[in-house]
Structure 1
Amino acid sequence: MDMLIQVQDLSKIYNPGENEVRALDHVSLEIDRGEFVAIIGHSGSGKSTLMNMLGCLDVPTSGQYYLNGQDVSVLTDNELSDIRNREIGFIFQGFNLIANLTAIENVELPLIYRGIGKRQRHELAVEALNLVGLSHRMDHKPSQMSGGQQQRVAIARAVAAKPPVILADEPTGNLDSKSSADILKMLKELHRTGRTVILITHDNDIAAQVKRVIRIKDGYVEADYFNKSEECVENEKAE
């Protein structure tokens, strides 16, 4: 397979010196294009710090991070912003929708920052909202939608520009069990279309439904394995 992400000996140290905290401690891993990976760990394990690194939201203290063959660990803030805008679609636990904008306006907003023209970004936003089953909610504002529907809008916003990486940070954390199942099913569908999906979670039940699991503990990779559960086997056959 084609390697998309390569992390080499990555460390992140806060308060260097006597009271230093090693949020990441010499982490190395690889993720191929088209994989669906769950990164799991308890609060304080380092999984959120790793997410920030993979999402180009922060830079490491040492080590290298290659995304699409480019060492992004040495880039400036402006260059990292450009990488985020072009390469990564973010889905957050808190949805992060703008309250006074409609669903389609929320999806279009990042496309404006990418310099995409009005007609094209409208077409991309409509396509993304259709993909998540919200063609009937395009003109509704977040307050007029359920939590599950708001998360669908957030997914549409993340995938509209067709970035190679979807980074989902606890995307089911604020949802009921039915909505959570729907969102996880949607992420699986995105994966089947060829997207690379990285799911950050603390939930073992969710991780058990994802093909590959990277378990983080105390800032290092405790385990990296492929699930062999019945559901994962069925998902693999469907691909």
Structure 2
Amino acid sequence: MGYPKDLLSSRSIIKQGLYALIAPEGLVNNSVPGFENCYVSILGSPRLGASFVDYIITMYEGGKNTRGFGGEEDVETFLYVVDGKVKVSTDEEEYELTQGGYIYCPPGTKMYMENLEKGDSKIFLYKQTYKPLEGVSAPWLVTGNANDIPEEEYDGMKEMRIQDLLPTDFAFDMNFHILTFDPGACHPFIETHVQEHGAYLLSGEGVYNLDNEWIPVKKDDYIFMGPYVQQACYAVGREKLSYVYSKDCNRDADLKK
């Protein structure tokens, strides 16, 4: 990047345990074992207050992870292709995922990844400790592409739409969704709930209510929303605002903190 051309500044906002807006301009590379020829930025993590870990990774030409990601008996993982083409393999199968493609690997399943583009590919990566539910079967591997999933109206509003990327089954303790807003659209109300989110903006611009503060957001921003933090969004500008995000679900609240 070289010498700065102006006063140093940042749009990022960190409210430990509550919420965070992390702008792409401030991301740094993390040396994570297994990732080769990749620019790995760790976003949400327990150090921020999240119960999961999110990454945004640029895989350069020849970029890969042959060591494997996940695979522990209590860790589930998810990968979403923001741009490019990536081969994702397990010990049993391999999948070629293009933009909008995704894969969920259940606990005990390790994923390996390789960039198939001559240029860069970008992926959004996630891991979390799985919470089993007595009497319910274990989750299973799921793969697909968001471009093949119909958008459904959100709370009866055609200007705001949602896509579920994983099955709505009690075997899964979380889901990934994509929310899309037409310009000028917004949530029906300011939400306050026990669930937390890690969200990556795929397109557009907006203003996001986080803990009753209205904050400008745009493509390539990352947002962490902690439990009970007020949250809602208005889309602004001339193109649709869209983001992919995780949500814990299908489990009762714990008595312990």
TM range, smaller chain: 0.3 to 0.5
**TM norm structure 1:** 0.33
**Which has a greater percent of helix?**
1
Which structure carries more relative contact order (alpha carbon 8 Å, separation 6+)? 1
TM-score by length of 2: 0.31
